[in-house]
Chain A
């Protein structure tokens, strides 16, 4: 330990090894990954994962900017790694290819809130989701989610009656709640969340059973 060059070399070599193994090689392995193309019953080509709508892409940026990832994961683990499938958070585990359209992918590390990988498949209507974003406790009693109330505008109901855009809420003294563009984008993004497509590397459970 008293020979300086050896110390320098050792320090750099050890990190170089893990850099090669955990940064360079995974990048090499994952870079060629591309969307899965398959043919459906109507003989047209289906791309998985499907592209998100423009509104949903903007909603992803809002999801990132507000740090929703602090409480919500977007990953479904296999049955041996947790109760995700049993909870109905997805039909199959998520795999690398599910995340091709998100940059950066919002995997998350905390489940104070439910997993959202397949939120779009199990949610109610868009109107319900906007109420949920405005005040989570109006949709789910005792929710500890803070929501994004600041993306909504509170204003008196006009003379011609409630605006068609207003949230559907119990009448509240001539006041209506109007979602901003950002709130609608976020709702569109949540609606677009789905990782349930069939992939060769991630067959749906029924099929998996059949193969055995």
Chain B
């Protein structure tokens, strides 16, 4: 696996303003990814080993809440924002208006998430799906986000390039949408919930919105920029890109109720959600046509981009099909739904951002990642972990769904069939986590390398015990 053909050696002068905030966002995003995955693996373990860790703080529900909040608000959001800020500065040929405010915002954000872990483990959950973080901490996350995102919006307004690139549309959308989604969710679901089930609808709007109007456009922005840059070929059928963008914008927000089919909410809300869920096929397919890579290129960035596009196409189609009522009647409430969410969040979003990270790290740090073997290991373990983890839940959840649909099969028999797949999922998550640890090790080696004069690879050899030939040239 070779490093990109001609990676720009360093940042251009105007890009220097974004160097520190982008590095900080990417770094803390990576740490949150490791923390979130560790909690996720622990929660997955407790599903088939209910008697291990019999403590209140290790209740399955609490571990799951920590995992999902950290993976969403920490890992995916911060990494995505880091890549987005660089893209805006690079594409707009402009500077960050105030890199200090971006740093302060990230610090506030990180403090809130750090406090959120013990808060959730001690039972401080709001009990609203996806918004479990105690409300005061949620407000701090929002504040931190606004400080960082404000820089992004300013960079778009100060764009010095004639016209906007697709990556800029998607990022502008994501930045404004997330601010609106999270504010609304905090106000209507957490701070002023009306009685009964309204909070569930509002939380559904937030959760679906975060997937399709925040994580998806950030990941697509990364792909729309880096795929042409790395492969040297323009996107295919570029005239489809605006249609992909506007159809995503139009339908993404209306899928709020796909997780509530059959639920105790007004019937028209469910119908709207199902229709929007199916119509999401349009942006999924159009963007997939744009971004289809083919056999070109084998650099780590391109490989992750290919994984991301593949996961996006597959996950998008499956989630459109499963929003149909007939499929929903079987697969709703099963681990199959978790598999689709993991495929989109880890296989698509996270891989798309890693494509950006692999392309950016040399530019931001002025050095290449020191160890090629670790890059290969990262790639292999990521794919293997996804195949095992998502595959296990897809197959197990499918069987679980048909078992649940047949009232003659009792729940214990359904779970007995499911149990081996629950175990396999834990293995998959652990492998995936190991993959991200190999990437982290590479970054640590790169940082350690700064302590030595340029050109020395001694540290690499000593720490990993490999011959200089396999280390990056």
State the A residues within 8 Å of B (CB).
1-2, 4, 7-8, 10-12, 14-15, 17-19, 21-23, 26-27, 29-31, 33, 64-71, 73, 75, 77-78, 80-83, 86-87, 93-114, 136, 140-151
Contact = CB atoms under 8 A, between A and B. Distances in A.
A99 B197 contact: yes
B127 A64 contact: yes
Interface residues of B, number: 92
A109 B333 contact: yes
Interface string B398-418: 000000111100011001101
B19 interface: no
B395 to A, nearest CB: 16
B313 interface: no
Interface stretch (B94-102, B260-268, B357-365, B441-449): B260-268
B368 interface: no
B61 A75 contact: no
Contact of A104 (B124, B193, B416): B193
B136 interface: no
A96 B259 contact: no
Contacts of B128: 104
Nearest to A142: B412
Given A105-B196, A105-B200, A15 B177 contact: yes
B135 interface: no
B246 interface: yes
Given A81-B325, A109-B129, A148-B56, 16 more contacts: A7-B169, A8-B172, A11-B177, A15-B181, A22-B272, A31-B198, A33-B196, A70-B60, A82-B262, A87-B407, A102-B196, A103-B195, A105-B197, A107-B200, A109-B337, A146-B46
Interface string B125-153: 11111001000000000000000000000
A8 B173 CA distance: 8
B411 A99 contact: no
23 contacts: A2-B164, A14-B250, A15-B209, A18-B253, A18-B254, A19-B180, A22-B201, A29-B266, A67-B125, A70-B43, A81-B328, A82-B404, A83-B405, A100-B195, A100-B196, A103-B193, A106-B127, A107-B260, A107-B264, A109-B259, A110-B333, A111-B404, A144-B419
Contact of B164 (A1, A10, A18, A145): A1
B231 interface: no
Nearest to B166: A1
Given A2-B163, A10-B246, A30-B198, A142 B266 contact: no
A104 B162 contact: no
A15 B205 CA distance: 11
Nearest to A27: B198
A185 B83 CA distance: 48
Interface in B181-239: 181, 184, 188-189, 193-202, 204-205, 209, 213
A101 B196 CA distance: 7
A77 B407 CA distance: 13
A88 to B, nearest CB: 8
Contact of A23 (B61, B173, B188, B407): B188
A75 B173 CA distance: 35
Nearest to B269: A26
Interface of B is mostly: helix
Contacts of B329: 77, 80-82
B194 A30 contact: yes
Nearest to A13: B249
Interface of B: 43, 46-48, 50-51, 54-56, 59-62, 64-65, 123-129, 132, 156-157, 159, 162-164, 169, 172-173, 176-177, 180-181, 184, 188-189, 193-202, 204-205, 209, 213, 242, 245-246, 249-250, 252-254, 256-257, 259-266, 269, 272, 325, 328-329, 332-335, 337-338, 404-407, 411-412, 415-416, 418-419
A26 B176 contact: no
A107 B405 contact: no
Contact of A145 (B50, B195, B263, B407): B50
B415 A144 contact: yes
B201 to A, nearest CB: 5
Nearest to A31: B194
A139 B46 CA distance: 19
A23 B204 CA distance: 10
Contacts of A17: 250, 253
Contact of B407 (A75, A83, A106): A83
Nearest to A88: B407
Given A15-B180, A66-B56, A67-B59, A22 B269 contact: yes
Contact of A26 (B252, B266, B332): B266
Nearest to B199: A104
Given A22-B256, A23-B184, A94 B264 contact: yes
A69 B68 CA distance: 14
Contacts of A94: 263-264
Contact of A69 (B55, B61, B249): B61
A18 B162 contact: no
Given A1-B164, A4-B164, A22 B197 contact: no
Given A66-B123, A67-B61, A143-B412, A107 B263 contact: yes
A136 B125 CA distance: 24
B205 A23 contact: yes
B164 A19 contact: no
Nearest to A85: B407
A81 B401 CA distance: 12
A104 B199 CA distance: 7
Contacts of A109: 129, 259, 333, 337
Contact of B125 (A1, A14, A65, A98): A65
Of A82, A95, A106, most B-chain CB atoms within 10 Å: A82
Contacts of B189: 104
